Amino acid sequence: MDQLTADWRQAQLTDADRAMLVYAEKLTLTPWEMTRVDVETLRTAGFTDRAILDINQITGYYAYVNRLADGLGVQLEPFWDDAPPPADVPHRRPTHNENSATNPQQGKQP
């Protein structure tokens, strides 16, 4: 993992993983330069069309979220730097009310 975060280009990766990261980086930094060749490169590396769509969607989602946060001036929590989170920060879990569509118990019988 340290190799990936330091410089993924120097990390020991499979050809497929390297192709995926090249695609994701290009889509993130220069999306207007994407061509069919970029998709074909992923197919040649063994990715199915579904996997390529997943790569594209995940890359686009994170680009969107980062731009949204940057555009609104969202400040990261202090523990998002390279240090581990402080011990006094509680683990946060989603809360659900009984009528919430995200309530995992909704619709289940007791």
CATH of the domain at 66: 1.20.1290.10
Give dist(CA 24, CA 28) in Å, integer.
Answer: 6
Q: How many distinct structural domains can be found in the chain?
A: 1
Report if residue 41 sits inside a domain: yes
pLDDT for 90 beyond 90: no
| Tokens at 87, concatenated | 């011990």
The whole-model pTM stands at 0.66
Judge whether 98 and 106 are in contact, CB under 8 Å: yes
Give dist(CA 16, CA 78) in Å, integer.
Answer: 35
Instruction: Please give the DSSP secondary-structure letter assigned to residue 74.
Output: P
Give dist(CA 40, CA 8) in Å, integer.
Answer: 22
- Assign 22 to helix, strand or coil: helix
Which residues constitute the domain of residue 67? Answer: 13-73
What pLDDT is attached to residue 107?
46
Report if residue 96 sits inside a domain: no
Give the range among 36-40, 55-59, 77-81 with minimum mean pLDDT: 77-81
pLDDT for 40 beyond 80: yes
